[in-house]
Amino acid sequence: MSIGQTLAAARREAGLSVDDVSAKTRLRATVIRAIENDDFSLCGGDFYARAHLRTLAGIVGADAGALVAEYDAAHGDPDELPVATQVFETEATGRAITRRTERRAPNWGAAAAAMVLVVVIIVAAVQLLGNGGGSGNTPVAQGTTSQSTAPTSPTPSTQATSEPTQTTPPAVTTPPSSAVAEAGVHVVLDITAAKCWVLASASNGSVIFQGVLNPGDSKTFDDPHKVSLRLGNAPATHLVVNNVDIGTPSSKSNVVDLSFGPGDPTQAQG
């Protein structure tokens, strides 16, 4: 079977319509139908055709590597083959970085809960100490009054002795704002010097955005747990993650995969 026939058969076997796949991948239904008919003219070039094949294969359960290899043999431009290889190698590296990032991400929620518990214990201890000091001084004042032979007016010193001692509780220190993790992930991507192909995915694997951005364009991506990015021209980008300016991502090639979770992205990346 051809590439398009393989994808169409896998889609039908998965019980998905073309519109279902379009909703999951954010690709237009006309592009998907054209690919299933082995027409790649709407993809915008070999680089994007390979990316579409891998995206569709991941949704319908087909072998992405075999489809891309078949495409390269039939349609690929030999000059672009090294770039495609970098994309595949970078994807595996990106998964490993994501797993390490998720393991190393600090549990700010547990830290904040522990701080609140410490504050509650301090306040309770101060209240108990204050109540105990007042009840301990009262019997002493009553015993001193009963020993006098005649009722007398209490002197200023006696009044001072009979009044319970007031203990001023120490100031309660609130947990620092840095101990409370911000909810979700907020990524701002700016395109600076040249065009860049971008693929943004949510924590559930769905595609948030896919396409080419021009210099001066800006995109914002949000997710409660994780945002993953694949950048086709990383040196032409600038990133702000969770209000932290991390600038242009470092990479050994133009193509790079990145993943971000909640909290400080510089600490999460180790």
Q: What is the pLDDT of residues 120-140, one digit of tens each?
A: 899 888 888 876 554 444 444
73-76: which pairs have CB atoms within 8 A and are 24 or more residues apart?
A: 74/3, 75/40, 75/46, 75/49, 76/46, 76/50
**What residues form DSSP beta bridges with 213?**
196
- Burial bucket for residue 106 (CB in 10 Å: 0-12, 13-18, 19+): middle
* Token pair recorded at residue 109: 């929620």
Give the Å distances, CA to CA, from 34 to 28, 41, 42, 44, 199. Answer: 10, 8, 7, 12, 21
* Token pair recorded at residue 155: 């002197």
pLDDT value of residue 142? 44
Residues 6+ apart with CB under 8 A from 9: 1
3-state class (DSSP) for residue 262: coil
Instruction: Give the CA count within 13 Å in the CB-facing half-sphere of 186.
Output: 10
pLDDT value of residue 77? 61
Q: Report the distance separating Cα 94 and Cα 102, nearest Å.
A: 12
Q: Report the distance separating Cα 261 and Cα 225, nearest Å.
A: 6
pLDDT value of residue 238? 92
Q: Report the distance separating Cα 44 and Cα 79, nearest Å.
A: 16
DSSP classification of residue 180? S
Helices (H) and strands (E) in the chain, counts: 9, 8
pLDDT value of residue 16? 96
Nearest to 94 by CA among 242, 255, 267: 255
Residues 6+ apart with CB under 8 A from 133: 164, 165, 167
Ordered by start, the domain boundaries in the chain are: 3-76, 109-140+153-178, 182-268
Q: The domain 182-268: what is its CATH number?
A: 2.60.40
Q: pTM of the full predicted structure? A: 0.36
10-residue mean pLDDT profile of the chain (270 residues): values are 93 95 94 95 92 94 93 73 48 48 61 87 84 50 43 47 52 40 81 90 92 92 92 89 88 84 73
Q: Tell me the fold of 3-76.
A: 434 Repressor (Amino-terminal Domain) (1.10.260)
pLDDT value of residue 270? 39
